[in-house]
Structure 1
Amino acid sequence: MIKATNIHKYFDNLHVLKGVNLMVNKGEIVSIVGPSGAGKTTLLQILGTLDKASKNEDYNLEINATEIKSLSDKKLAKFRNEHIGFIFQFHQLLPEFTALENVCLPAFIKGTKKIEAEKRAKELLNFLGLEERHDHKPNELSGGEQQRVAVARALINNPDLIFADEPSGNLDSESAENLHHLFFKLREEFGQTFVIVTHNEELANMADRKLVMVDGNFV
């Protein structure tokens, strides 16, 4: 599913990622832990194609047997929209849109017809226990509900791969625990692969593999 080789990242003279190698199998849930500043989020953004590795190093990144660095920006955006979902610590919902409309946005970008997108969005929201929240805007939802809407948005295009960056970091303990168990339920239901950056030891230890990053590489 993911094959990353010799991933480096420099910000001016700051060497953040120092030759990271990573393989993740289809259907696997992998957690990445480590101290703040270790490079976890930077790596996640590169793996998720939101950022690029430094080109002055010989590296490779393959997702679903597609060589990412060979794609044009337009093809990369299309690939990201169709194959990758993102869940962030702060849900990033658009406040002027309802839960249903927020979930539909990636599908509209993909070109899915409105009736099909809304049908799928309603199915996901219902699956996530939000049957009565379709027409509520983010400020009318609890933190846990907002995060579940964000999860539905990440799933709307049936991506192969979900990247989550501190997904429960902004939730109370009960909502966080519910979200953690939800990831495994989603894996069973939809077969997605998850890469999760977290400081939550409970979530990290639930994963199939826990990787520790220190000073720009795995130890």
Structure 2
Amino acid sequence: MIRAEGLRKRYGTVEVLRGVSIEVARGEVVSIVGASGAGKTTLLQIMGSLTRPDEGCVTIDGVDLFALQDRELSRFRNRHIGFVFQFHHLLPEFTAFENVCLPGLIGGRDRREVEARATELLGLMGLSARRNHKPAALSGGEQQRAAIARALVNAPSVLLADEPSGNLDTRNREEIHRLFFDLRERLGQTVVIVTHDEGLASRADRTITMSDGRVVG
């Protein structure tokens, strides 16, 4: 479903990725672990088409991402790849509901369809009663759940998460961890998670360990 082959990436004199190749099956939850500076986030950014590699390719559902023109790539990213980051990046002037709707509206989908999907996802996240609250009125865990709903509004092929629970307390962290596996069970969602959290990594179907820009386990 996701195939990354021979990825290399250099920033100045530093080679961050050194020929990384991985595959992720549909419906699989995969964690990527390793020390800071191992190349985990760079790999995730390339898999999500946010950064182009110096060498190598990434295919999602058979589509070669970096063979696409910029506009085509942006459209593919909007429809097929969902992102969750350590900090939720919700727009403060919009409600939770409006934040969740944004990717669908940006993608040009029918407003009624997008709003119905957003309502469904906020219910799935346990946020129905909080839909009209702006981010400042939500707890950290609620903000992150809204961010996950936003990432899912276009029914993406893959959900990519970079330290999604790193900024949360123990209770909210455990809720977010459970949520990723609930999404796989309920939606068949494919999830790739970069994490330093050993508990989250151990629950994944498979763990990929990186060191010095290479996959070592």
- TM-score, normalised via structure 1 length: 0.97
Whether contact under 8 Å (2:46, 2:53) holds in the other structure is yes
Note the C-alpha offset of 1:108.
Answer: 0.2
Q: Supply the distance in 1 between the matched residues of 2:113 and 2:159 (Cα, whole angstroms).
A: 22
Secondary structure at 2:210's aligned position in 1? strand
Residue in structure 1 matched with residue 31 of structure 2 by the alignment? 31
Q: Does the 8 Å contact 2:49/2:66 carry over to 1?
A: no
Q: Distance in 1 between matches of 2:112 and 2:58?
A: 36
Partner of 1:9: 9
Number of equivalenced pairs:
216
- Deviating more after overlay: 200-209 vs 106-115: 106-115
Residue 85 of structure 1, aligned match among 82, 101, 126:
82
Instruction: Tell me the equivalent position of 1:42.
Output: 42
Cα distance in 1 for partners of 2:101, 2:12 equals 38
Counterpart for residue 194 of structure 2: 197
Residue in 2 that maps onto 1:164: 161
The worse-fitting range, judged by mean Cα deviation, of 117-126 and 87-96 is 117-126
Alpha-carbon distance in structure 1 between the residues aligned to 2:70 and 2:189: 25
Q: Tell me, in whole angstroms, the C-alpha distance in 2 between the residues paired with 1:69 and 1:106.
A: 22
User: Any residues of structure 2 matched to 1:120-139 within 5 Å, and which?
Assistant: 120-139=117-136
Matched with 1:53 is 53
TM-superposition CA deviations, 1:164-216 (whole Å, max 9, x none): 00000001011111111110110111111111000000000000001111000
| Structure 2 unpaired stretches of 5+ | none
User: By how many angstroms is 1:110 displaced?
Assistant: 1.1
Q: Following the alignment from structure 1 to structure 2, what is the Cα–Cα distance between the partners of residues 61 and 128?
A: 31
Partner of 2:66: 69
Residue 163 of structure 1: how far off its partner (Å):
0.2
* Deviation readout 1:132-182 (Å, 9 max, x if unpaired): 101000000000000000000000000010000000000101111111111
Of residues 184, 188, 211 in structure 2, which corresponds to 1:187? 184
* Partner amino acid, structure 2, of 1:211: I
CA contact (8 A) 2:9 2:53 kept: yes
**TM-score normalised by L of structure 2:** 0.98
For structure 1, the 5+ residue unaligned runs are: none
Q: 1:155 and 1:30 mapped to 2: Cα distance?
A: 17
Q: CA deviation at 1:102?
A: 0.2
Quote the Cα distance in structure 1 between the aligned partners of 2:117 and 2:29: 24
**Secondary structure of the corresponding residue to residue 162 of structure 1:** strand
State percent identity of aligned pairs. Answer: 57
Amino acid at match of 1:120: R
Equivalent-residue separation in structure 2 for 1:110 and 1:51 (angstroms): 20
Structure 2 Cα separation of the partners of residues 145 and 68 of structure 1: 32
Q: What do residues 9-34 of structure 1 show as CA deviations (whole Å, max 9, x unaligned)?
A: 00011100000010111110100001
SS in 2 for 1:132: helix
SS at 1:85 equivalent:
strand
Partner of 1:107, secondary structure, is: helix
